Amino acid sequence: MAAVLLLVFAGLVLATEDDDEDEKDNVAAQEEVLEQFEGKTFYTQANIFYEKPMKILSTNFHKGKILPVGSKVTVDYAGGRTIEFIDEKKTTYRITLKRKHTSPGMKLLFYFNQYFAPSNPLEPGGPYSRFTEAEQWSIKNGTLEKGMSRAAVLMAYGYPPSHATPDLKDDKWTYWIGSMHGQPVYVYFKNDRVYKITSAGSLLSE
């Protein structure tokens, strides 16, 4: 019996070691891809909200200024949990992937691809041109309105932190207004269109 348990334990150890090696390989592959982005030109695919350009968190707190969708930027560094880039006004920005506010499977490369791409979404025939005039207005102003599609919400408001909204197919997304201990805002979808927007305060008052 003891021998069987030892064999089982040994198998578990080997499986764990294999998993660790796979994870290391995945991280190394991700870092290699991210390094290739450095010095390259990209365009923002969604509005990026920030108070201080060098202290932007992936939590996506909605307060302060907006780096608008379609901004042309040059990636200075991408690796670990950090993306640094420079816009055409020579302002440097730093986004940090906040582990506490991301789902366990979220990787920096995946996050990068959500917000940056080689093509400008505002170009004729690009994603922006497919939205309604009302959606385009909301995107330009960084606001949410009833009737918006999921894609328009993402471009206008950025991505909800994945620890609270792990699946973008869910019919409820959670954002935060303000910083750190801000006010949660809940966006509800029906048939892939926004039909209700509430905050914790409004829910308590209902």
pLDDT by 10s per residue, the chain, length 206? 544 433 333 454 444 444 455 455 566 777 888 899 999 999 999 999 999 999 999 999 999 999 999 999 999 999 999 999 999 999 999 999 988 777 777 789 999 999 999 999 999 999 999 999 999 999 999 999 999 999 999 999 999 999 889 999 999 999 998 876 678 999 999 999 999 999 865 443 33
What per-residue confidence (pLDDT) applies to 109? 92
137: Cβ–Cβ under 8 A, 6 or more apart, which residues?
Answer: none
Q: Are 95 and 82 in contact (CB under 8 A)?
A: yes
Task: Find the distance separating the first CA and the last CA of the chain, reported in whole Å.
Answer: 62
Q: Which tokens is 148 given?
A: 């918006």
What per-residue confidence (pLDDT) applies to 199? 84
What per-residue confidence (pLDDT) applies to 18? 47
Amino acid of residue 181: H
Adjacent-strand bridge partners of 57: 96
pTM of the model: 0.83
What per-residue confidence (pLDDT) applies to 8? 37
Q: What are the E-state strand segments in the chain?
A: 41-44, 48-50, 56-57, 61-62, 65-67, 72-79, 82-87, 92-96, 116-117, 172-177, 183-190, 193-199
Q: How many CB atoms lie within 10 A of CB 40?
A: 13
What per-residue confidence (pLDDT) applies to 4? 42
Amino acid of residue 59: T
The DSSP secondary-structure symbol of 149 reads B
Q: How many CB atoms lie within 10 A of CB 47?
A: 24
> What's the order of all strands across the beta sheet hosting 183-190?
61-62, 172-177, 183-190, 193-199
Q: How many CB atoms lie within 10 A of CB 203?
A: 10
What per-residue confidence (pLDDT) applies to 31? 82
Domain ranges within the chain, ordered by starting residue: 41-205
On the 0-12 / 13-18 / 19+ scale of CB atoms within 10 A, 73 is: buried
Q: Which tokens is 192 given?
A: 């892939």
What per-residue confidence (pLDDT) applies to 133? 97
3-state secondary structure of 22: helix
